[in-house]
Amino acid sequence: MSRYKELTKKISSYFTKDKDKTKSKFKRFIFGMRFTDGFAYKLIIYLMLFGLGYIYLYPLMYMISYSFMTMTDIIDVSVNWIPTKFTLENYRLVWEAINYPRAFLDAIILAGLPALSATISSALIGYGFAKYDFPFKKTLMVLMILTFIIPPQVTMMPTFRMYARYDLLGSIKTFIYPAILGQGFNGAIYILIFYSFFRMIPNSLMESAQLDGAGPVKIFMKIAIPLAVPAIIIVFLFSFVWYYNETYLSGLFLRDSNMLTLPLRVQQYIDSYASLYPEGSLASELMQSAKLAGNILTILPLLVLFFFTQKYFVEAIDKTGITGE
């Protein structure tokens, strides 16, 4: 009898230990441990990422889906997201209407030349602020930051009159000249990026070059610029994208010009059609696919650019400290 009780006690103890062990495993699986995340934490993170991704990707997915639809699919309420028949007719309409190859070349020139000018001038100005002391340096720094704080719409009319006085309106010079002087679109941001990057370069490196007989220009070209490649990449890409996407000031300064940015060229095509067929009419609804195809053709060059430069883009952001770390 005593052996029976002892055996029962051992079996009971074994199952109690096994139950505690299973409970501990389940708790670790749900809530994690000190250095590992649990299932509940991962589930919350993935749900948040999925929600944010859906918010950002929904307009793009909508444009892609409806840009391949035929007019029959557009007026058929039973067709959603997936066209009954994929067509490239909408893209052909926009391609021929805006002469896409010429519009694309104009957009690259209008964004590329000012972006290159802004990158060169910002590097020079940022290097001067970072490595030299001169009178009214802090005052000039504050004025430079104010150019970013004040919205360009506030200074739009004086700027427009000034450009008109110097006969710059309607040409790419309205973009290039301010960029050369460090006052292009969001020019203060580029200067601050170079300023913070050049400040990280130790002064002892510059002093060593001076002892070897290098002048200020040679130090800038041979030491500062090679070290600032990540900043150059990020500034050029930011500037290129901002000039490429700009529509408000571009529409004002490039009015009556043969060269327009790609978003403005597509908008011009949409406006010309809207003047013939007012918003809300059946014809206007039928052209929704063509409008969306035009938007896809507008953003396609930027998507291709980011696809090929994303490695350098991420590395440059990390090295220039834009992430705020």
187 with 210, same domain: the answer is yes
Is residue 319 assigned to a domain?
no
68 with 164, same domain: the answer is no
Number of domains in the chain: 2
Is residue 302 assigned to a domain?
no
Q: What is the pLDDT of residues 238-276, one digit of tens each?
A: 899 989 988 888 888 887 778 888 888 888 888 877 766
Tell me the C-alpha to C-alpha distance, in Å, between residue 17 and each of 4, 12, 20, 230. Answer: 20, 9, 5, 58
244 with 170, same domain: the answer is yes
Q: What is the pLDDT of residues 23-52, one digit of tens each?
A: 777 777 777 776 677 788 888 889 999 999
Is residue 60 assigned to a domain?
yes
- Between 144 and 325, name the one with better pLDDT: 144
Q: What is the pLDDT of residues 169-195, one digit of tens each?
A: 888 888 999 899 888 888 888 999 899
User: Domain span at residue 148?
Assistant: 99-276
Q: What is the mean pLDDT of the chain?
A: 83
pLDDT at residue 1 tops 80: no
Is residue 29 assigned to a domain?
yes
Of 158, 126, 160, 131, nearest to 141 by C-alpha is 126
49 with 116, same domain: the answer is no
Q: What mean pLDDT comes out for the span 213-223?
A: 88
Q: State how far the Cα of 110 lies from the Cα of 117, in Å rounded to an integer.
A: 11
Q: What mean pLDDT comes out for the span 73-94?
A: 83
User: What 8-state DSSP symbol labels residue 36?
Assistant: S
Domain boundary residue, one of 88, 109, 135: 88
Angle between helices 229-245 and 288-320 in degrees, nearest 10: 160
